[in-house]
Structure 1
Amino acid sequence: MLEKAYPLIGGFLGVVLAFISKFKLLELESYKEIMSSSISLGSIAVGFLAAAITLLPSLSNNELVKNLKRLGAYQKLLLYIIKAIIGLFIISILSIVGLFITNISIGIVRDLFGYTWIFIFIVAILSIIRVIHLFLKFLVLTQNNID
């Protein structure tokens, strides 16, 4: 249960913390650099994960993939990779939009954008961590079954 929900819980907690501390993303001195770096990070990670998800089916004869399927983890891993790709894609799009909304003077729009960006960013990063953790966990499990 926690494995499925912790990216969303982390994103929610991040927004609550930002709200309580009155953190204003758009008022940071390095705001544009953060948006640019997020676009790069998101784009590179989307490409990497997309390549990984397309390679997995071609490795059907691989012992690791066979073990993942036997454990019932193959579909779960694919689903988590897809969710990470979606989160990274959304953060890239939001960051592109973020580069153009710096001049908006309506406070509620600026705050809403900032909190939305923080939520999606945390969810995307935690989704990547979940994929890596799960993959490493299955890798160790399958190695233990082979030995």
Structure 2
Amino acid sequence: MIQNATLLLVEDNADDVALMLRALRKHNVANQILVARDGVEALDLLFPAEAKNNAAPQNLPHLVLLDLKLPKVDGLEVLRQIRSHPTTRSIPVVILTTSDEEKDLLAGYDYGANSYVRKPVDFIEFTEAVRQLGIYWFMLNRLPPRGE
């Protein structure tokens, strides 16, 4: 299990944020949960101003849960930028979205998503999906070492 696991949740729907935070905390999925409510905010968290001057970003998340339909900058562009930067390209990114469109699924994997999960509508199914994501990404999966 990852000690001091940090998760970045990128989601613009306040109800989905509340459900996700409740489910994550209920299952002790991460020690720290950062929330970005649009694509610009997500990029600012991943690439703060000092990092844009070629310094390595600090306090990177261990996992990103990324919605696709975001204001300002959409989820695919956030994913593209994550994968284009050497210090963030190995962070696992799970697309967690309501979209069931094949074009979104294909684009997500083309841009380098590690997983694509359709959000269950039912709360119990939703919390179970979050629990399983947490177990897999933080307990079973072995992440690459990070320069912390």
Normalized against structure 1, the TM-score is what? 0.25
Higher helix proportion (structure 1 or 2): 1
Q: Which has the higher contact order (CA 8 A, sep 6+)?
A: 1
Normalized against structure 2, the TM-score is what? 0.25
Asked which structure has the greater CA Rg, the reply is 1
Higher strand proportion (structure 1 or 2): 2
